[in-house]
Structure formats: structure tokens, C-alpha cells
Chain A
Amino acid sequence: MKRTLRNLIAILVVLGLVGGLAAAQDYPWQPDRPITIIVPWSAGGSTDQVTRVIASELEGALGVAVVVVNQPGASGSIGTANALAADKDGYTWAAGAIRDVGTYVVLGMLDTKVEDWHPYFAVSNTSIIVVNPNTPYQTFDQLLAAFEANPGSITVSTAGLSSAGHTVMENIAQAAGLSYSHVPYDGGNPAVIATVAGEAQVNTQLAVEQAEMLRAGRLRPLAVYANKPLVLDGVGEIPPITNWMPDLVIPSNYFGIWAPVGIPDEVVETMNMVWENVMMDSEALRSYAAERGALFNPMYGDEAIAEAGPSISHQAWTLYDGGKAVISPADVGIERP
């Protein structure tokens, strides 16, 4: 009976008749129409997945529909620009990785900085250095030795230039003085599959994209790109890369949603309360993170902006040193880490 009732409500929501039926708590902001979150990447990707979990939690807390709109293109800068240009009424948000928002400016794509936004983080994502199980590399130092013995010929699949996987591999290569053959794909999932299929030998994409293949034994984990070991359900403990490369600087890669500065104060207050009371205890988000190999890390306000800083400056300078940035990070006030 309960199921039927819930179902009926869902249908009514679908028909748009009872947008605000579910009672919202006494938040200072009572939205009266659907809220839009722009995902500036295509549907089904890592940003899209986590954003839909966030959207469901927000829906429950605020009592209105939260619609996820995919606006892919230009490395996420188009969707982000649209969120920035929208009416500052709190009904339009953008999602993604905060370090992308902070580095569009050096790529010459969008003139914005992290201080232009109210960020609300949900998880931080890490990468795992994995290899195809048919390759001979059993440990990370064997792989390092192989990179040194065959410069420029071991294939590494990533989601393209300046993607999470490429940044990780580029950092390892710069720190250890290696060279490798970079094989770019159209997204994290295709890159992971290429390593599973054996087209590329190594993959450094996000753990959320690798988790299922790791569990199935189709990929062999060598090290997690972090300074603490990662425990993944069904895989076990993966040692941190700092075991072999202790000097590596590894900033966290935060994912979440944000709205431009200028939205009404009561919206900010409400979202702060939602984050404090709902997101910090969200079972849905916590189990999503645990299953997918992400770190449950809700955070907002000044703390979030402060945490975003290192990952942005790290990313900006990696892009600049790689010849990808058109504006020097120094010119827009991003210090070298």
C-alpha cells in the first residue's frame, strides 16, 4: 500500500501537478518551481552520476523537483558559462569538478574564478593506476622500471588532454622523469574499456570509472593516486602511490554543485543548512562513494573555497607547463604551488 501511494505521488509529480506536495522544512528559502542543475558533461559520466544523487537528496530536502540538464561541450565551459549568465535567483546551478571551474580562465575558455561561486562539494575523486591483467607488471615499481626501460612506448589510456587521468600520468611522468605514449579517448569509460580490452596497457582514470572492472578482475590495481591507501569493496586495499614516490604532491579533486555569487542570501543560508543537516549524513551519497571508490566529502562555504585552492593552482600550472594554457596562471593571480 505504501508503495502504491508513493507511486501515485511520483506520477503526480511527473504530471507536474504537485511540485510542492512534499513538505519542506522551515528553510528560509522556499522554492516554488523546479530547480535546474546544469551538468556541463554528457549524461552517464562521473559528474552526471554524482549530480543525480545530489539532486535526489535536494529534492527530498527542498520539496521541489530538481532537474538535471546535460549541456556538454568545450570541456564543460559552455554549461558553466550558462549557469553564470542565468538569473541569480538560486534556481540555476552548475555541477562538475571545482578545479575545472578554477582553470577555465587559463585555458582562455571562460573568465571566472572560484570566488565567483558558492561551492557545495559532495565527494572527492581519486585515480587508481591500473594495468591490463595480461601485462607482466605486478607492482607499481615494476611498472616504473618498465617505463624507464622503454621510454615513450608504453601506452596509457586517458579521457583526453587535461582529463583527470592525463593530469595524474603527467604528474607521475614529470616527477619521475619518464615518457610514455598517451592514447586519448572520448571519455573515462571508453579509456578504461580500452585497457580492459588490451588496446592500451595502463590506465589512470578515476576510480569511479574503474571500480566495476577492478572487482571483476579485468584490471589489476597497482597504486592509488593518494597518500592514504584506498579500500574498495570486493577488491581490497590498494597501496598509495606515495609508498614509491613520497614527494608527490596530491591535491584532492572535489566534485559538487555551485551557483554564482549574487544569489539571494536566503538561498545560501538554506543550502548551508541542507548541506549541514542532510548531505553530511546522506546514506545515498555515502554508499555511492563507497561503492564507486570515491571519498565521501561534503563541504561548503569558506572551507570549500579554501580546499579548492591547491587543486586549482596545481591543475593550472600543470596545464601551463604542458603548453596547454593560453594565459599564464600568474597573470590571473594563481600562485605556483
Chain B
Amino acid sequence: MHRADLIIGIVLTLFGAVVVRESLVMPRFASIGADPVTAPGLVPGLLGGIIGLLGLLMAVRATLGLRAAASAAPTEASAPEDADDGTEPRYVVESPHAGRNRLATMLVAGLIFAGLAVGRLPFWLATFLFVFVTVALLEFQRYGRGRAVWQRLAVALVIAGGTAWAVVYVFESIFLVRLP
């Protein structure tokens, strides 16, 4: 964790520095008699500086190993995400790669759908294909065996068809949004 903090801290410091530099080269409109305090670069420059400083602080803290001290500070509770106190739902036992595979499936499919397909294909078609492919892939990952192929495909088909129809109907007819 310290190493991640260190790297993020350094990245933020560099990012802040770039922002400050970019802000300094923004025009100041002095030629039209503008007040220098109103220069467009003022606030982004300040923000870049603050982000850079906070990043540096984070990097320094990580190097000194102070993160643990921060967590142990009095009056502080543990992080919200560590809140598992036995009432969490029970999990299906699955291989450690499963999460990564699902993430990759969703990320790639999502980027292709929203980044490429929408705007090129009719919206209902893009939606149908995306939901069908994603649900089908996830169904196969979810039930390693024991379910017929046609069952999984049928589930995906129903969900995809329903989604495509409902989204187009609701948005185009009720909210009068023109879909791409």
C-alpha cells in the first residue's frame, strides 16, 4: 500500500507541476486592460499548486511509513470499506481470476459499446448486441458447468431484447430524447 501511495503521490506532484506550468502560459489579457488578478490562469494555477503539494505530502508520508500512524490516530474509526462485520452476504467460492476476468469483460465490452458502437450503429442494435454478448459471457463465467448452453444464451437473449426495447421506448417516447 505504501508503494502505491508513493507512486500516486509522485504522479500527482508531477501532474500539479504540469498544471501550474500550463496555467502560467495562459493569456492574461493585459492588452485589453484586464486586471492581472482576473487572469484565467490564476485559479487553475493555484489548484495545480495545491494538488502538487498534497501529492508531495502523500509521497513523503509513504516514504516515512506514516500511513499506519494516520490510521491509528485516536478518535478515528476504520475505513467504511472495511466494514465487514460478519453480516456480509455469503460469497460463492470462485477462482481468484474470476474477478479479473469479469472486470476485463465488462471494461472491454463497455468501451466498445459506448465508445465505438453508439453513434455508428442504431442505438437499439448496439444495446442489444452489447447486453447479449456481455450477459452471455458473464453467464458462462458464472456457472462453470452444469447448465445447458441454450439456457445461458436464452437468458442473455431475453435480457438483451428487453433492455433494448424498454430503453428505446422509455427514452424516445416518454422522455423525448433523440437517441444516437
Contact = CB atoms under 8 A, between A and B. Distances in A.
B100 interface: no
A83 to B, nearest CB: 13
Contacts of B32: 322-324
A323 B174 contact: no
B38 to A, nearest CB: 8
A153 B29 CA distance: 19
Interface in B109-161: none
A74 to B, nearest CB: 14
Interface in A305-324: 322-324
B31 A67 contact: no
Contacts of B172: 16
B178 A36 contact: yes
Contacts of B83: none
A314 to B, nearest CB: 18
Q: Interface residue tally of chain A, by bracket?
A: 10 to 19
A16 B31 contact: no
Binding site secondary structure of chain A: loop
Contacts of A16: 172-174, 176
A149 interface: no
Interface string B7-33: 000000000000000000000010110
Max chain B C-beta neighbours (<10 A), residue from A15, A16, A324 = A16
A284 interface: no
Contacts of B178: 36
B31 to A, nearest CB: 5
Nearest to A16: B173
Interface string A294-337: 00000000000000000000000000001110000000000000
A34 interface: yes
Interface string A28-71: 00000010100000000000000000000000000001010000
A34 B173 CA distance: 10
A323 B31 contact: yes
A323 B29 contact: yes
A14 interface: yes
B155 to A, nearest CB: 30
Contacts of B38: 184
Nearest to B38: A184
Contacts of A322: 32
A305 B32 CA distance: 31
B177 to A, nearest CB: 9
B168 to A, nearest CB: 12
B31 A34 contact: no
A15 to B, nearest CB: 6
A64 to B, nearest CB: 10
Contacts of A67: 176
Contacts of B29: 323
B174 A65 contact: no
Contacts of A36: 178
A189 to B, nearest CB: 21
Contacts of A15: 173-174
A116 B30 CA distance: 35
A170 to B, nearest CB: 10
A65 B176 contact: yes
B171 to A, nearest CB: 10
A265 B14 CA distance: 57
B174 A14 contact: yes
5 contacts: A16-B172, A34-B176, A65-B176, A67-B176, A322-B32
8 nearest interchain CB pairs?
A16-B173, A323-B32, A67-B176, A34-B176, A323-B31, A16-B174, A322-B32, A65-B176
Given A65-B176, A322-B32, 11 more contacts: A15-B173, A15-B174, A16-B172, A16-B173, A16-B174, A67-B176, A184-B38, A323-B29, A323-B31, A323-B32, A324-B32
